[in-house]
Amino acid sequence: MKIQNICCLGAGYVGGPTMSVIALKCPEIKVTVVDLNQARIDAWNDENLDNLPVYEPRLAEVVAEARGRNLFFSTDVDAAIDAADMIFIAVNTPTKTYGEGKGMAADLKFVELCARQIARIAKNDKIIVEKSTLPVRTAETLQTILESTGCGVHFEVLSNPEFLAEGTAIEDLFNADRVLIGGKQTPKGKEAIQALVDVYAHWLTPKQILTTNVWSSELSKLTANAFLAQRISSINALSALCEATEANVDEVANAIGTDSRIGPKFLKASVGFGGSCFQKDILNLVYLCRYFNLPEVADYWEQVIILNDYQKSRFAKNIISSLFNTVSDKKITFLGWAFKKDTNDTRESAAIYVADYLIEDGAQIHVYDPKVSEAKIKADMAYLWELKGLTEQKITSKLKQIFVYNTSMAALHQAHAVAVLTEWEEFKTYDWKTIYINMFKPAFVFDGRNILDSEQLTAIGFRVKGIGKG
Ligand code: NAD
Ligand code: UGA
């Protein structure tokens, strides 16, 4: 079976970049990305490529080449479903904020709505591809919903989780370590798997394309994220011990990373991992383990999250204790708000939680991030406080403790302390001598990413505290 028409439900951080790359690499396939959010679709269609809703290096050039040729963005979901042979579901699957499984389970309502809409619209056989990250056995639920109308259309459900990381999405898609495709081991299932293999084979080698049964594929995605996050929590746990013993966590990471069995990647100690997925996917894994009556396994993975929360609050507490036990009315400048460099995504960014902690102690938080707007920063904080149950009045009052700047120098002027929350390259290139002159003394730098040259800053006069450095 040769795929000619692809539709993707969800034009977010995954749907947008993945479909842009598929369209670029498969010029004979028409790819339509649809979303319910009109503003998002308008931004994907914006003439000015600086206004794309997702910032990713090289994304604009990919969109520029494919858009209007065989790549389209639209809000006409029904028409796109109707025309497609293959439908990707790439909608959000956040942690539930209500009811059964609140705070742990993945909220599958958006995925379910997609399945119902597909079932209602489809008039001919379709391959449905789970691109969103889903709990193991979701394909069973999808199949049941898709078949519920009894209209005689055949739906073949595949699992094809996405492994791209934000900030390197295009690079990751062009040169994927692997693409994983899970499907039923029936003749029709195998045919559907092959159809999707053929799409990826436009630019990836057979070695890069793994095929498995559906459940292994679904579970591999949660497992991959759990293992990655576990490495960060492991090195972050050791960073606390380094601080107590004058060991240097970067040296320890380097020393263990040269063991080929451990490897050097994902051992960078930090203020804590953020992003839309690690926390939600591990919470989901923990929930699943409890559901399947495996409490010891659940507790094991939950510790990765507990440690990450500890790391964020440890960083904030360290700022307060270093600034003579109070930050009340002090100007603390945050360099960076995004959860990592080279993205405008702020979901679950450590900056949000560190800011909350310091604001509670009376601090004034002054923020500069090259890609994140004032509106986004304030919305992030308001959302957290809403979840915590604060009144609207209290939220409005707390928001007055946040100031956002378009330039770093304005944000840093007359600050008591600087905290590096995101590892943007430009922070390393600043004129730290001038920054020092314009700050209150003693001037503190809390490097939550260990990116600055601490010896050079100390020579200038700063009091520097990195992560995991005694
Ligand atoms: P996102 O919030 O950026 O995008 C999801 C989009 O889906 C939104 O624009 C939303 O409006 C749209 N949507 C919701 N319901 C819809 C419907 N019924 N029809 C059409 N559109 C609908 O989310 P994301 O970051 O792209 O993540 C999507 C999925 O991919 C999640 O399951 C996530 O866990 C997974 N994932 C994300 C990443 C990442 O780096 N962000 C990487 C791998 C996997
Ligand atoms: C992560 C995974 O790396 C992707 O493979 C996966 O597809 C994706 O989640 C997902 O499912 O959403 P992402 O969250 O975009 O990708 O970015 P990462 O590079 O993994 O970084 C996550 C967080 O960990 C960031 O806050 C980063 O700063 C932090 N981190 C990463 C560290 O603190 N130390 C490290 O050594 C690496």
> What is the per-residue pLDDT across 315-367, written as a single tens digit (0 to 9) for each?
999 999 999 999 999 999 999 999 999 999 999 999 999 999 999 999 999 99
Residue whose CA is at the smallest distance from ligand 2 atom 30? 273
Q: Which pLDDT tens digit goes with each residue over 398-422?
A: 999 999 999 999 999 999 999 999 9
CB 398 within 8 A of CB 304: no
Q: Determine if residue 93 is labeled as part of a ligand binding site.
A: yes
Give me the pLDDT at residue 149, please.
Answer: 84
Number of domains present in the structure of the chain: 2
CB 236 within 8 A of CB 272: yes
67 CB under 6 A from ligand 2? no
Give mean pLDDT, residues 228-240. Answer: 98
Per-residue pLDDT band at 207 (split at 50, 70, 90): very high
Give me the pLDDT at residue 26, please.
Answer: 98
Pairing of strands 30-34, 5-9: parallel
Query: Where do we find the tokens 């576990």?
Result: 230
427 CB under 6 A from ligand 2? no
The catalytic site residues sit at: 277
My answer on whether 188 and 233 are in the same domain is: no
338 CB under 6 A from ligand 1? no
Q: How far is the CA of 152 from the centre of ligand 2 (A)?
A: 42
- 213 part of a folded domain: no
Quick count: other Cβ atoms within 10 Å of Cβ 389?
Answer: 7
Which of the listed residues 55, 133, 221, 232 should we mutate to test ligand 2's pocket, taking the one with most ligand atoms within 8 A of CB? 232
Quick count: other Cβ atoms within 10 Å of Cβ 198?
Answer: 14
Chain-centre distance of CA 317, in angstroms?
A: 25
The one-letter amino acid code at 290 reads: R
Give me the pLDDT at residue 300, please.
Answer: 98
Q: Which residue, 204, 235, 252, sits at the end of a domain?
A: 204
Give me the pLDDT at residue 153, please.
Answer: 94
- 184 part of a folded domain: yes
My answer on whether 267 and 416 are in the same domain is: yes
Beta-sheet strand order (sheet of 179-182): 71-74, 30-34, 5-9, 86-89, 126-130, 155-159, 179-182, 209-212
CB 17 within 8 A of CB 59: yes
Nearest to 337 by CA among 361, 313, 356, 363: 356
This model of the complex carries an ipTM of 0.98
My answer on whether 21 and 164 are in the same domain is: yes
Rounded percentage of the chain residues whose pLDDT exceeds 70: 100
171 CB under 6 A from ligand 2? no
**Helix 295-322 with 278-291: angle, nearest 10 deg:** 150
Q: Is the pLDDT assigned to residue 151 strictly greater than 90?
A: no
My answer on whether 354 and 299 are in the same domain is: yes
Per-residue pLDDT band at 59 (split at 50, 70, 90): very high
Instruction: Tokens for 368, please give them.
Output: 């500069």
My answer on whether 172 and 303 are in the same domain is: no
Q: How far is the CA of 224 from the centre of ligand 1 (A)?
A: 18
Give me the pLDDT at residue 299, please.
Answer: 98
- 427 part of a folded domain: yes
- HEC per residue, the chain: CCCCEEEEECCCCCHHHHHHHHHHHCCCCEEEEECCCHHHHHHHCCCCHHHCCCCCCCHHHHHHHHECCCEEEECCHHHHHHHCCEEEECCCCCECCCCCCCCCCECCHHHHHHHHHHHHHCCCCEEEEECCCCCCCHHHHHHHHHHCCCCCCCEEEEECCCCCCCCCHHHHHHCCCCEEEECCCCHHHHHHHHHHHHHHCCCCCHHHEEEECHHHHHHHHHHHHHHHHHHHHHHHHHHHHHHHHCCEHHHHHHHHHCCCCCCCCCCCCCCCCCCCCHHHHHHHHHHHHHHCCCHHHHHHHHHHHHHHHHHHHHHHHHHHHHCCCCCCCCEEEEECCCCCCCCCCCCCCHHHHHHHHHHHCCCEEEEECCCCCHHHHHHHHHHHHHHCCCCHHHHHHHHCCEEECCCHHHHHCCCCEEEECCCCHHHHHCCHHHHHHCCCCCCEEEECCCCCCHHHHHHHCCEEEECCEC
Give me the pLDDT at residue 52, please.
Answer: 96
My answer on whether 287 and 164 are in the same domain is: no
My answer on whether 198 and 164 are in the same domain is: yes
- 439 part of a folded domain: yes
Instruction: Tokens for 60, please give them.
Output: 């604009």
My answer on whether 233 and 192 are in the same domain is: no
My answer on whether 15 and 157 are in the same domain is: yes
Instruction: Tokens for 51, please give them.
Output: 């206004």
Per-residue pLDDT band at 470 (split at 50, 70, 90): confident
Distances in Å between the Cα of 338 and the Cα atoms of 44, 240, 373 are: 21, 24, 10
Instruction: Tokens for 161, please give them.
Output: 């989780």
What is the C-alpha separation between 343 and 57, in angstroms, rounded? 8
- 209 part of a folded domain: no
Give me the pLDDT at residue 88, please.
Answer: 98
Range of the domain at 47: 5-204
Residue whose CA is at the smallest distance from ligand 1 atom 2? 92
Give me the pLDDT at residue 150, please.
Answer: 80
My answer on whether 346 and 233 are in the same domain is: yes
Q: Which residue, 204, 235, 261, sits at the end of a domain?
A: 204
Mean pLDDT of the chain: 97
Nearest to 231 by CA among 297, 308, 288, 134: 308
Q: Which pLDDT tens digit goes with each residue over 353-403?
A: 999 999 999 999 999 999 999 999 999 999 999 999 999 999 999 999 999
Q: How far is the CA of 43 from the centre of ligand 2 (A)?
A: 25
- 220 part of a folded domain: no
My answer on whether 174 and 296 are in the same domain is: no
- 76 part of a folded domain: yes
Q: Which pLDDT tens digit goes with each residue over 253-302?
A: 999 999 999 999 999 999 999 999 999 999 999 999 999 999 999 999 99
Q: How far is the CA of 167 from the centre of ligand 2 (A)?
A: 9
Per-residue pLDDT band at 128 (split at 50, 70, 90): very high
- Assign residue 139 the CATH number of its domain: 3.40.50.720
CB 422 within 8 A of CB 337: yes
Per-residue pLDDT band at 213 (split at 50, 70, 90): very high
What is the C-alpha separation between 234 and 308, in angstroms, rounded? 9
My answer on whether 189 and 247 are in the same domain is: no
Q: Is the pLDDT assigned to residue 219 strictly greater than 90?
A: yes
Q: Is the pLDDT assigned to residue 100 strictly greater than 90?
A: yes
Give me the pLDDT at residue 186, please.
Answer: 97
Q: Determine if residue 274 is labeled as part of a ligand binding site.
A: yes
Give mean pLDDT, residues 428-437. Answer: 98
Quick count: other Cβ atoms within 10 Å of Cβ 245?
Answer: 9
